Amino acid sequence: MSRGYTLRFPQGFLWGTASAAHQNEGDNVNNQWYRWEQQGHILSGDQSGNAADWWHRAEKDFEWAEQMENNALRLSLEWSRIEPTEGKWDSSAVERYRHMLIDLRKRHITPVVTLHHFTDPLWFVERGGFADQENIAFFVRYVEYVVAALHDVCTFWVTINEPNVYALQGYLFGAFPPGQRDLKKALLVLRNMMQAHVEAFYAMRNIQPEALIGYCLHYRLVDPANSLSFVDRGVASVQETLFNWAPLQAGETGRFTFPTGPLLAPIPRASGARDYHGINYYTRDMVRFDPQSAIEVFGKRFTRQKATRNDPGLDNSFGEIYPEGIYRVLKEVYRRTRGNKPLYITENGFSDVLDDRRPRAILEHLVMVLRAIHSGVPVRGYFHWTLVDSFEWNNGWYVRFGLIDLDPLTQMRSPRRSASMFGEICRANAITESIVERYVPELLESVFGARGRELRV
């Protein structure tokens, strides 16, 4: 029987889901991912096709978000729709987005708009994309165009989603387009994207002084397989620094942690160029020293054997479900940035087609978010990845992250249990004992304590 214990989130906390244009809209034929799919690079052989058909029916899915009493929703704009050829703008695309944003606002859902989420127009790619510093100006011009057109319906912006994933997956591991394996180029792309964010930030600030502007990084923790081993600890720390902390520091100071080669050139005006820190957190890896893994700086990553796992995906990239990681990341970002800005969880999610681990995973991660808040970290919102199943990049339709199940052929939706649980949490702005009891009873004691007295956060 419920005793009515409750773990409350701060007033005004933002609750929502996150998504990206190419994964949801369908028929985005003018970007490098579409071409990559046509060339047969998706591991499952899938193509994005109609995706979740958001170009025509995003508003139908916003109804679900409204039912869950989400007060925010993060989506992205597709640059290749807005500027399909260099310098030629398609105002009807902007109008379509305006319609979506107005629809959200009518539902009392604050739109959070990402300007770049992995996809580039083909003409930009032909010019060398972010590997060429001179091309940053094209991105800034696009951003200015969009913000000038939509500033009356959106104030919360994400310039670039995960420059670290885009650069490393595309230019070092070769898993994303353009499929290259070139460390120097990967670092150059990362550096240029960070600069693109900084320049976009000031351009946007000029047009819309009241805007909230930031970018998000993907944070993937790396722990040593043997914590007593000097070399395991060493490679874990180098990998974690390269992927997580060097880009964060570059955003903060304009200088990279390992200033070599392309990272030597500092990024002017970087410090202060954000209003919040966007945090995307999914998992952690264990790592063991391995002289064969030169491309991964001599560390072989793997998932802990006893771990509760995500569905792994065809590339085995979705490993452990590790709730404490979100707490560790929040604390570390807060520490490294000296608490200078509020934090938003701009993404956190689980690939779990059966939805038999997701409810527990959501609850455990949220408890960890609260723990961070109670310890003084100013976390202001949580965006679950994602509302409806969407085209999962190089894994195609093979893995499912949605609160709502989608059959991409029939476009049929069926909400998973997680959706109703998430809705109850958002509505209550709290984790209540009754929610835990009904969805994940085995967590009652660990969340609320044996007699419910001490809150275990």
Tokens of 248: 């964060």
Q: Which of residues 262-281 bind ligand BGC (CB under 6 A)?
A: 280
Taking the complex as a whole, how short is the minimal distance between the CB of residue 18 and ligand BGC, in angstroms?
8
Taking the complex as a whole, how short is the minimal distance between the CB of residue 283 and ligand BGC, in angstroms?
10
72, 109 Cβ separation under 8 angstroms: yes
161, 116 Cβ separation under 8 angstroms: yes
Residue among 219, 229, 247, 218 at smallest CA distance from 299? 229
3-state DSSP helix/strand/coil % of the chain, to nearest 5: 45, 20, 40
Q: If you search the block for the tokens 């997701």, which residue do you land on? A: 358
Q: Which of 7, 14, 20, 286 binds ligand BGC (CB under 6 A)?
A: 20
Nearer to ligand BGC, 196 or 447 (CB): 196
Taking the complex as a whole, how short is the minimal distance between the CB of residue 78 and ligand BGC, in angstroms?
13
Taking the complex as a whole, how short is the minimal distance between the CB of residue 429 and ligand BGC, in angstroms?
26
Nearer to ligand BGC, 385 or 448 (CB): 385
Q: Which of 131, 136, 165, 343 binds ligand BGC (CB under 6 A)?
A: 165
Phi then psi for 88, rounded to 5 degrees?
-110, 120
Q: What is the DSSP string of 93-137?
A: HHHHHHHHHHHHHHTT-EEEEEEESS--BHHHHHTTGGGSGGGHH
Q: Does 115 bind ligand BGC (CB under 6 A)?
A: no
What is the C-alpha separation between 80 and 90, in angstroms, rounded?
10
Nearer to ligand BGC, 175 or 263 (CB): 175
**Is there a cis peptide before residue 386, judged by omega within 30 degrees of 0?**
yes
For 274, the 3-state DSSP assignment is: coil
Nearer to ligand BGC, 290 or 311 (CB): 311
Tokens of 294: 């030169």
Q: Does 348 bind ligand BGC (CB under 6 A)?
A: no
Stretch that binds ligand BGC, among 157-165, 202-210, 271-279, 287-295 (CB under 6 A): 157-165
Q: Does 218 bind ligand BGC (CB under 6 A)?
A: yes
271: β partners:
none
Residue among 71, 58, 95 at smallest CA distance from 12? 71
Q: Does 355 bind ligand BGC (CB under 6 A)?
A: no
Nearer to ligand BGC, 224 or 278 (CB): 278
Query: What DSSP element (H or E) covers 362?
Result: helix 358-374
Stretch that binds ligand BGC, among 137-145, 159-167, 291-299, 371-379 (CB under 6 A): 159-167
Tokens of 355: 């939805």
Nearer to ligand BGC, 116 or 218 (CB): 218
Q: Which of 347, 355, 364, 433 binds ligand BGC (CB under 6 A)?
A: 347
Q: If you search the block for the tokens 């195609």, which residue do you land on? A: 396
Q: Which of 25, 37, 199, 392 binds ligand BGC (CB under 6 A)?
A: 392
Q: How far is the CA of 405 from the CAs of 19, 56, 290, 400, 452, in angstroms?
A: 14, 18, 39, 8, 35
Taking the complex as a whole, how short is the minimal distance between the CB of residue 76 and ligand BGC, in angstroms?
9
Taking the complex as a whole, how short is the minimal distance between the CB of residue 19 and ligand BGC, in angstroms?
8
Q: Does 162 bind ligand BGC (CB under 6 A)?
A: yes
Total residues at the site for ligand BGC (CB under 6 A)?
10
Q: Which of 15, 142, 298, 385 binds ligand BGC (CB under 6 A)?
A: 385
**Beta-carbon contacts of residue 454 (< 8 Å; ≥ 6 apart):** none
Residue 454: burial class (beta carbons within 10 Å; 0-12, 13-18, 19+): exposed
Nearer to ligand BGC, 124 or 385 (CB): 385
Residue among 301, 285, 400 at smallest CA distance from 349? 400
Nearer to ligand BGC, 53 or 162 (CB): 162
Taking the complex as a whole, how short is the minimal distance between the CB of residue 385 and ligand BGC, in angstroms?
5
Stretch that binds ligand BGC, among 132-140, 160-168, 237-245, 361-369 (CB under 6 A): 160-168
Q: Does 404 bind ligand BGC (CB under 6 A)?
A: no
Q: Does 161 bind ligand BGC (CB under 6 A)?
A: yes
Nearer to ligand BGC, 231 or 314 (CB): 314
Taking the complex as a whole, how short is the minimal distance between the CB of residue 390 and ligand BGC, in angstroms?
7
What is the C-alpha separation between 77 and 20, in angstroms, rounded?
8
Q: Which positions touch ligand BGC (CB under 6 A)?
A: 20, 161-162, 165, 218, 280, 347, 385, 392, 401
